[in-house]
Each structure stands twice: as structure tokens, then as C-alpha cells.
Amino acid sequence: MSAGTENKMIKTIVFQLLDKEYAIEVDVVQSIEKLLLMTITRIPGVPSYVKGVINLRGMVTPIVDLRTRFDLPVTEYDDNTRIIIVNLENFDAGLIVDDANDVIDIPADALESQPEVVGSVESDFVAGVAKIDKRLLVMLNLDHVLKPIRNGQSDDN
């Protein structure tokens, strides 16, 4: 997400949570899976947004529900619900999102920092926002969204 380089395009995967559109860089995305096809094994003693682990082609992969993570109202998972599997530096994880169906190029200079609003849980997780045509895309900071869990706590703060 190195802003500043002139007219560099950031290729992103865009997904839906409630009424907002979020984006993450396509480079970190390994695959997008249908949630209903997966069996999630619950893990006791972890924050509620960690839904558990799945068997992703032989790898035990933790799954995080982004709605819960962002304190958004929770709904039933349906046929559109997707798990976006991301590869971060040290681990893989899956993000549960309402829908994921778009790939968009965002010009690096279209990315603006998030307007400062106090109190929103989300703000920590946002790397920036971009306005493409009439769509407002929220670029996520995955390192913050996926802070490792230790002894049942996230490493936040």
C-alpha cells in the first residue's frame, strides 16, 4: 500500500460487509471459499470473532468473522457468505465476509487516509479509503485486523 508512487495501481479484492465495501490487496489473497461448504471447528477460550478453524486442503486454518470483529450486527451465514483466505507473513487465516465478487484497481493516489472519527472500533483497522466512481472502498489494514491471539486475548493495545 505504498502511497506516493505516481499512478501506481493497487489491485484489490472487494468484499461486502453489511452496506459497506472493503478492499484488501489481491496479493495476500490465496483463495475465496464458500462458507457453507466448510465445517468450522469451534475453539474454546478465544475472542468471539474467532469462529474456529477449518481444514483447508490439509492445513488447519483459523477463521475470523469480520462482522463480529468490527462490532457490526451479526446475521445468519447464507449462500453468499464467503471466506477469504489470506496469507500474511507468519500465518494464513480466513475472513468471513458477506460477499466477495469484485476485483478493482485502485490508483495509489486515490487512497486517502481515513477521516479521524473518535470511538469507532473500525478506525484502527482502516488503512485508507478510496473513492472510485461512486463507490467508497475501505482499504483494510490486515495486520491490525489479524493481531495474533495469545492466551485467549488479541494483542491489541
Residues that bind another protein (CB under 8 A): 39, 41-46, 50, 52-55, 57-62, 90-93, 146, 148-152
Give the residue with the Cβ less far from another protein, 18 or 59. Answer: 59
Give the residue with the Cβ less far from another protein, 7 or 90. Answer: 90
Q: How far is the CB of 103 from another protein (least distance, A)?
A: 25
Triad 102, 138, 75: Cα angle to 5°: 75
Q: How far is the CB of 97 from another protein (least distance, A)?
A: 17
Give the residue with the Cβ less far from another protein, 5 or 41. Answer: 41
Q: For the CA atoms of 87, 50, 152, 141, what is the dihedral angle to 10 degrees?
A: 50
Q: Which of 112, 156, 151 minimizes the C-alpha distance to 131?
A: 112
Cell 495509489 -> residue: 108
Give the residue with the Cβ less far from another protein, 77 or 111. Answer: 77
Q: How far is the CB of 133 from another protein (least distance, A)?
A: 35
Q: How far is the CB of 91 from another protein (least distance, A)?
A: 4
Q: How far is the CB of 98 from another protein (least distance, A)?
A: 22
Give the residue with the Cβ less far from another protein, 38 or 127. Answer: 38
